[in-house]
């Protein structure tokens, strides 16, 4: 007998003023964004941290060149930056503040480790080696606040670089794109019109729309959960279809915001600010890992770098849809990425995966279990199958645009073979995109024959375009593999 999946509470009130709760808890209002806008101002004990971070970016807020422009950060950290770990104990019950400290120390750690690589990159050389030891005035405090907040002691996407790194220029205007600014940056990101700012802010702008996606997913799980006891199965399916339709609408909105990346962050600029968001795992800059001075028995550590791969929206869809992924080393990387996120996001994603399987949600959706008894039920089931393909299509749309980003911002700009998160740049994104396309074909083949009139023009048009896209993708990947001498499966 399998054990029942433990329930998961998705907040309907994000409780923004409760500092005893972690900064990140999934809600139907804020989705995967932190419960409240990130803490910007640090207590006075951390003035030295605030000062070095303000003076750090290549271009500071005033427009003057900062420590990274002159390659002076390492010197200052080594000679005069204090160890503030003990001051953290004064505030450790305030978890959003601990999250802000985690963000800030992870910016300092990455800048310190990768500063030499940035200098070589500017000279047109390869990245060479990064610093291989994190001194104890950074290693101790980052490890402590990472422990208190549940993150890896290295920069992460949600807890640091992207989702905990914005402030509202005018609090009254709220989370409108033009009203958000970065709190921390490496290169030119304090200027909201820069490519570094645009890159991060578009991620935030997309996740700002994740509340309805979370709400609709939870609704669908609930509808299927009630289906077996529902005295009116027709009404149950109608309601399930409404939930699926809400998922499609939410994903369309998120994808349309993703499209704004082209205008907000220029492909040519990406490789220059991304030097600072590389990780340790799989990177030539850290062949022997990084020693966190005084910690982990002084053994070299390895963590993945910041990456949108640690965003929770697409994994939510993968888990809900029970997307089959091939058993390849590339998929193993995807699984590893799913460790790098707020604990509550991890638990929620696991919950959705287990609950979808436990409820046989896909079988219910595609009508694999019970035959419809009335024409009305048949019609609603046909709608479900079409909507299922439409949801898959939004995941395809996201991953296809993503492949286009990788092609234009990375493959055409640099020969460095590994992305910031440590995945191989040519083959990794196509591994998942191919899996989505295969599932679309599979679902279409499985369902279309069951319905006299097929699945309707929306689904048929989607399938036609998807198959064309699969051909294009294969040709492009084959070409990049041949140009770079990379095997297709790794």
- Binding track, positions 412-441, relative to ligand HEM; x by CB under 6 A: -------xxxxx-x--xx--x---------
Q: Give the number of C-alpha atoms closer than 13 A to the C-alpha of residue 142, restricted to the C-beta side.
A: 27
Q: Do 489 and 326 touch, CB atoms closer than 8 A?
A: no
The three-state secondary structure class of 217 is helix
- What's the min distance (Å) between Cβ of 215 and ligand HEM? 18
The three-state secondary structure class of 8 is coil
Q: Is 380 in the site for ligand HEM (CB under 6 A)?
A: no
- What's the min distance (Å) between Cβ of 306 and ligand HEM? 8
Query: 22 to 81, contacts with ligand HEM by CB under 6 A?
Result: none
CB of 68 or CB of 202, closer to ligand HEM: 202
Query: 222 to 281, contacts with ligand HEM by CB under 6 A?
Result: 258, 261, 265, 270
Q: Is 349 in the site for ligand HEM (CB under 6 A)?
A: no
Report which DSSP code applies to 170.
S
CB of 412 or CB of 475, closer to ligand HEM: 412
Residue from 317, 410, 443, 459 touching ligand HEM (CB under 6 A): that is 410
Residue from 111, 285, 309, 443 touching ligand HEM (CB under 6 A): that is 309
Annotated ligand binding at 402? The verdict is yes
CB of 353 or CB of 382, closer to ligand HEM: 353
CA distance 478 to 490: 13
- What's the min distance (Å) between Cβ of 198 and ligand HEM? 9
Residue from 28, 165, 217, 307 touching ligand HEM (CB under 6 A): that is 307
Q: Do 451 and 378 touch, CB atoms closer than 8 A?
A: yes
CA distance 146 to 101: 9
- What's the min distance (Å) between Cβ of 265 and ligand HEM? 6
With CB under 6 A as the contact rule, which of the stretches 62-70, 90-98, 347-355, 402-410 interacts with ligand HEM? 402-410
Going by DSSP bridges, is the β-strand pair 166-168/180-182 parallel, antiparallel, or unpaired?
Answer: antiparallel
CB of 19 or CB of 393, closer to ligand HEM: 393
- What's the min distance (Å) between Cβ of 22 and ligand HEM? 21
The three-state secondary structure class of 93 is coil
Size of the site for ligand HEM (CB under 6 A): 29
Query: 178 to 217, contacts with ligand HEM by CB under 6 A?
Result: 199, 202-203, 206
Q: Which of 108, 113, 8, 90 is nearest to 49 (CA)?
A: 108
Q: Is 218 in the site for ligand HEM (CB under 6 A)?
A: no
Q: Do 186 and 60 touch, CB atoms closer than 8 A?
A: no
Going by DSSP bridges, is the β-strand pair 290-292/180-182 parallel, antiparallel, or unpaired?
Answer: unpaired
Residue from 37, 269, 311, 394 touching ligand HEM (CB under 6 A): that is 311
- What's the min distance (Å) between Cβ of 281 and ligand HEM? 9
- What's the min distance (Å) between Cβ of 184 and ligand HEM? 18
CA angle 54, 57, 58 (to 5 degrees): 145
CA distance 334 to 325: 10
Q: Is 409 in the site for ligand HEM (CB under 6 A)?
A: yes
CB of 88 or CB of 313, closer to ligand HEM: 313
The dihedral region occupied by 466, where left means phi > 0, alpha psi between -120 and 50, and beta the remainder, is alpha
Q: Is 395 in the site for ligand HEM (CB under 6 A)?
A: no
Q: Is 97 in the site for ligand HEM (CB under 6 A)?
A: no
With CB under 6 A as the contact rule, which of the stretches 90-98, 169-177, 307-315, 464-472 interacts with ligand HEM? 307-315
End-to-end CA distance of the chain: 38
CB of 185 or CB of 202, closer to ligand HEM: 202
Query: In whole angstroms, how far apart are CA 380 and each of 22, 319, 368, 458?
Result: 41, 24, 14, 15
CA distance 188 to 198: 10
Q: Do 316 and 409 touch, CB atoms closer than 8 A?
A: no
Query: In whole angstroms, how far apart are CA 44 and each of 41, 79, 84, 88?
Result: 9, 21, 11, 11
CB of 77 or CB of 162, closer to ligand HEM: 162
Instruction: Answer positive or negative: Cα dihedral of 61, 64, 70, 72.
Output: negative
Q: Do 402 and 313 touch, CB atoms closer than 8 A?
A: no
- What's the min distance (Å) between Cβ of 269 and ligand HEM? 10
Beta strands across the sheet bearing 300-301: 133-134, 290-292, 300-301
Beta strands of 275-416 (E only): which ranges?
290-292, 300-301
The three-state secondary structure class of 133 is strand
CA distance 429 to 403: 6
CB of 97 or CB of 425, closer to ligand HEM: 425
CB of 144 or CB of 341, closer to ligand HEM: 341
Query: 313 to 342, contacts with ligand HEM by CB under 6 A?
Result: 314, 334
CB of 208 or CB of 444, closer to ligand HEM: 208
CB contact set of 229 (below 8 Å; sequence gap of 6+) = none
Q: Is 110 in the site for ligand HEM (CB under 6 A)?
A: no
The three-state secondary structure class of 202 is helix
CB of 101 or CB of 436, closer to ligand HEM: 436
- Binding site for heme b, by residue number, is 402
- Residues of this chain that interact with ligand HEM (CB under 6 A) are 199, 202-203, 206, 258, 261, 265, 270, 307-309, 311, 314, 334, 399, 402, 405-406, 409-410, 419-423, 425, 428-429, 432
């Amino acid at each position: 007998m399998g054990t029942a999946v433990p329930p998961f509470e998705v907040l309907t009130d994000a409780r923004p003023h409760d500092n005893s709760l972690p900064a990140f808890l999934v809600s139907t209002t804020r989705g995967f964004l932190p419960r409240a806008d990130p803490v910007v101002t640090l207590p006075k004990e951390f003035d030295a941290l605030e000062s070095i971070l303000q003076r750090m970016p290549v271009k500071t807020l005033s427009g003057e060149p900062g420590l990274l422009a002159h390659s002076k950060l390492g010197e200052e950290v080594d000679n005069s930056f204090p160890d503030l770990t003990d001051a953290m104990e004064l505030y450790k019950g305030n978890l959003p503040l601990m999250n802000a400290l985690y963000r800030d120390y992870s910016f300092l750690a990455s800048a310190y480790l990768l500063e030499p690589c940035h200098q070589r990159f500017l000279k047109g050389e390869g990245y060479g080696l990064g610093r291989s030891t994190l001194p104890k005035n950074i290693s101790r405090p980052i490890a402590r606040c990472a422990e208190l907040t549940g993150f890896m002691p290295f920069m992460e996407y949600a807890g640091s670089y992207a989702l905990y790194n914005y402030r509202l220029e005018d609090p009254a205007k709220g989370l409108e794109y033009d009203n958000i600014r970065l709190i921390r940056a490496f290169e030119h990101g304090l200027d909201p019109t820069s490519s570094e700012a645009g890159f991060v802010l578009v991620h935030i702008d997309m996740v700002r729309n994740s509340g309805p996606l979370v709400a609709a997913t939870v609704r669908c799980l609930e509808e299927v959960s009630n289906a077996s006891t529902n005295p009116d199965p027709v009404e149950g399916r109608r309601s399930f279809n409404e939930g699926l339709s809400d998922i499609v609408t939410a994903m369309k909105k998120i994808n349309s915001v993703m499209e704004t990346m082209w205008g907000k962050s220029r492909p040519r600029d990406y490789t220059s600010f991304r030097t600072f968001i590389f990780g340790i795992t799989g990177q030539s800059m850290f062949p022997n890992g990084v020693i966190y001075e005084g910690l982990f028995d002084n053994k070299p550590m390895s963590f993945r770098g910041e990456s949108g791969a640690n965003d929770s929206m697409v994994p939510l869809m993968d888990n809900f849809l029970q997307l089959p992924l091939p058993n390849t080393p590339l998929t193993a990387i995807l699984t590893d990425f799913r460790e790098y996120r707020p604990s509550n996001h991890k638990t929620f994603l696991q919950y959705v995966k287990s609950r979808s399987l436990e409820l046989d949600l896909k079988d219910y959706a595609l009508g694999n279990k019970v035959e419809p008894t009335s024409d009305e039920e048949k019609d609603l089931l046909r709608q479900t199958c079409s909507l299922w393909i439409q949801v898959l299509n939004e995941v395809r749309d996201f991953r296809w645009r993503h492949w286009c980003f990788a092609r234009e911002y990375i493959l055409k700009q640099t020969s460095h073979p590994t992305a910031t998160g440590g995945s191989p740049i040519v083959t990794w994104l196509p591994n998942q995109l191919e899996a989505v396309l295969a599932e679309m074909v599979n679902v279409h083949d499985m369902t279309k024959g069951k319905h006299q009139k097929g699945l309707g023009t929306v689904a048929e048009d989607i399938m036609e375009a998807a198959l064309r896209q699969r051909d294009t993708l294969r040709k492009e990947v084959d070409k990049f593999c041949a140009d770079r001498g990379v095997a297709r499966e790794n």
